Structures are given as C-alpha cells and as structure tokens.
C-alpha cells in the first residue's frame, strides 16, 4: 500500500500553484478505485459517463441521482487517498439552487468531496449557492455531454472568436462564483491554454490539449474497452503494458511529465 496522504482541496491548490499537473480518471466502482488510488491517480471522477460506459446508453441523459449516489458510494469505499468528484446528472441541478443543494448533499453523503456540474453563465448562481454552503464545485465548459442534442452532436466547442470569447467570460464568472476547478472538454488546445493561463483555478482537460493544469480520461477509453472508433483525444494505455495497474501508472506519469496529451495527436 502506498503511503500517500489523502488529497485535499488545499493540496490540489498547492499542486496547481507549483505547476504540478493533476492526473484524473473516471471511476465507477470500488475495485477500480483501489487500483487507481494505488497507482497514484490524484482524483477519481464518478462521471455520469457511466450511463454510456457501464449502462450502454447512447448519452448521459438518463443517469439518475440515485445511480450517481450508488456509484459514488462504491468508489468511496474502495478509495483511500484520491480526491473524489461526483457528477451532478442531468435534471438534478437545472431547476433551482435549492434542488441542486439537495442533490449535491446526496452525493457528498456517499463520499464525494466535490461535485461537478455542466454549463456556463446560467450555472453561476447555482455554483455560488453550493460553494457558500460548503460544497466544493468543479465547473465543466466546452463540450458538455448533457447538452449533446442542443450542441448538435459531439463537436469541438469554442472554435470561432465569439464562442472563444464566451468561454473566456464564462470561465472567469464561474471561478469568481467560487468554482475550485474547471473541466474543459473538446476545445482547441490554444484556447484551453489561454483560459488556463488567465484563471487562478486549475483546469482539467479532456480533448483540450496539453496546456491545461491537469487531464482526465474516461477509464474504459484509456484501457481500450469502450468499443467503437477510438476518440482522437484518447490514448490506449493498456496497449503494450503489463496490466491495468501499470497502464494507469503510465497515464499518471505521462500526464505529470507533459507527455500526454501530445498536441500533435490528441488535440484540436
């Protein structure tokens, strides 16, 4: 067993201030939580991607708060030191800040240490409401999977100047509202680097290039067991490795050393 101390928000801020990259992976159960924690992954994201990865659904939209609470509890029981973030699923925070608070509490009671919610300006009052009540919040901009239909499919966001400006504005508003972390999904690498440099909170990229403060991948994608066409921003770390633990360690090392993502291969 490693002798790593439990990660805290304070420690994550210190890592960010020191320029140390944050390695995050999605995780949905206790067995993988143990493996990822032992492999030194900094943060486990109980993503609503579980709707697609575990449940075989076409999108994340049908995932319920009860399912998120169940998987968060599973991950928390397998984990010892990694920082646990749980996704607020579609429909669990859009209605009002009070509803968001009630649902965030369900995830925190199962062992989440931070919750993540998707969206721009309209989420700012919700973020502030949760943060004021002691809930660490990770925001999520760029391609936001819960808006897949509104966005017209899986598309890179922020490509033109107006869209880039909107993302810049939203990221600053979310940080000012108290978001302590920001996931940037499928945005051009140069824009993600600019946003990261302009913000005082860490950005975690997925398909957003090497200029972010950390990286996240869907666990099953980086182990090559998702099926279908591999996504441009994913590398299969199990390929050529001796097993899952080694593949995950390689991911952590490559994120920390800036070898993943490779902007020439994995970015937009």
Catalytic site residues? 185
> In sequence order, which ranges of 118-229 are alpha helices (DSSP H)?
124-132, 161-176, 189-198, 219-222
State the angle between helix axes of 124-132 and 97-109 in degrees (0 to 180), rounded to the nearest 10.
50
Least distance CB 196 / ligand KIV (angstroms): 16
What is the pattern of x (binds ligand KIV, CB under 6 A) and - over residues 38-57?
Answer: -------x-xxx--------
Nearer to ligand KIV, 17 or 31 (CB): 31
Helix runs in 65-151, H state only: 65-78, 97-109, 124-132
Residue 158 as a binder of ligand KIV (CB under 6 A): the answer is: no
Report in angstroms how near the CB of residue 154 gets to ligand KIV at its nearest: 11
Least distance (Å) between residue 49 CB and ligand KIV: 3
- C-alpha radius of gyration, the chain, whole number: 17
Kindly determine how many residues on this chain lie close enough to bind ligand KIV according to the rule CB under 6 A.
Answer: 11
**What is the smallest separation between the CB atom of 125 and ligand KIV, expressed in angstroms?**
21
Candidates 22, 75, 177, 183: give the one binding ligand KIV (CB under 6 A).
183
Q: State how far the Cα of 75 lies from the Cα of 223, in Å rounded to an integer.
A: 18
Residues 60-119 that bind ligand KIV (CB under 6 A): 87
Which residue, among 157, 69, 147, 151, has the nearest Cα to 111 in the 3D structure? 69
- By Cβ distance, which residue is nearest to ligand KIV? 47
Q: Please provide residue 115's backbone torsions phi and psi, each rounded to the nearest 5 degrees.
A: -115, 155
Of the candidate residues 100, 206, 208, 222, the single one contacting ligand KIV (CB under 6 A) = 206
Q: What does each C-alpha distance from 10 to 83, 92, 136, 170 come to in angstroms? A: 11, 28, 11, 24
- Interaction with ligand KIV in 209-228: which residues (CB under 6 A)? 216, 218
**26 touching ligand KIV, by CB under 6 A:** yes
89, 67 contact by CB (below 8 A): yes
Could you count the other beta carbons within 10 Å of the beta carbon of residue 55? 11
> Residue 47 or residue 178: which is nearer to ligand KIV going by CB?
47
Q: Write down the least CB distance from residue 204 to ligand KIV, Å.
A: 7
**Minimum distance, C-beta of residue 55 to ligand KIV, in the bound complex (Å):** 12
In the bound state with ligand KIV, the residue whose beta carbon lies nearer, of 129 and 233, is 233
Give the contacts of 202 (CB within 8 A, at least 6 positions apart): 12, 13, 15, 16, 22, 181, 182, 212, 213, 214
Cβ proximity to ligand KIV: between 4 and 218 the closer is 218
Six token digits for residue 259: 């070898």
Looking at the Cβ atoms of 15 and 218, the one nearer to ligand KIV is 218
- The string of DSSP codes covering 64-75 is -HHHHHHHHHHH
* Interacting residues toward ligand KIV by CB under 6 A: 26, 45, 47-49, 87, 183, 185, 206, 216, 218
């Amino acid at each position: 067993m490693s002798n790593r101390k439990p990660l805290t928000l304070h420690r994550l801020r210190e890592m960010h201030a020191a320029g140390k990259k944050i390695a995050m992976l999605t995780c949905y159960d206790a067995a993988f939580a143990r493996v990822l924690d032992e492999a030194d992954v900094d943060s486990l994201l109980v993503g609503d991607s579980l709707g697609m990865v575990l449940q075989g659904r076409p999108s994340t939209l049908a995932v319920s708060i009860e399912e998120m609470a169940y998987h968060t509890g599973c991950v928390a029981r397998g984990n010892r030191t990694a920082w646990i973030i749980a996704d607020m699923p579609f429909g669990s925070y859009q209605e009002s800040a009070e509803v968001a608070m009630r649902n965030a509490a369900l995830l925190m009671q199962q062992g989440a240490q931070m919750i993540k919610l998707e969206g721009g300006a309209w989420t700012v009052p919700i973020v502030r409401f949760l943060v004021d009540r002691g809930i660490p919040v990770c925001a999520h901009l760029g391609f936001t999977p819960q808006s897949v239909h509104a966005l017209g499919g899986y598309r890179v966001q922020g490509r033109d100047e107006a869209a880039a400006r909107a993302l810049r504005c939203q990221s600053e508003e979310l940080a000012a509202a108290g978001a302590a972390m920001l996931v940037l999904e499928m945005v051009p690498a140069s824009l993600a680097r600019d946003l990261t440099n302009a913000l005082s909170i860490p950005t975690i990229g997925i398909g957003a290039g090497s200029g972010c403060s950390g990286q996240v991948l869907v666990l099953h994608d980086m182990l090559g067991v998702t099926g279908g066409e591999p996504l441009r921003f994913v590398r299969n770390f199990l390929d050529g490795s001796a097993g899952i633990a080694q593949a995950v360690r390689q991911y952590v090392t490559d994120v920390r050393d800036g070898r993943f993502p490779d902007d020439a291969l994995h970015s937009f």
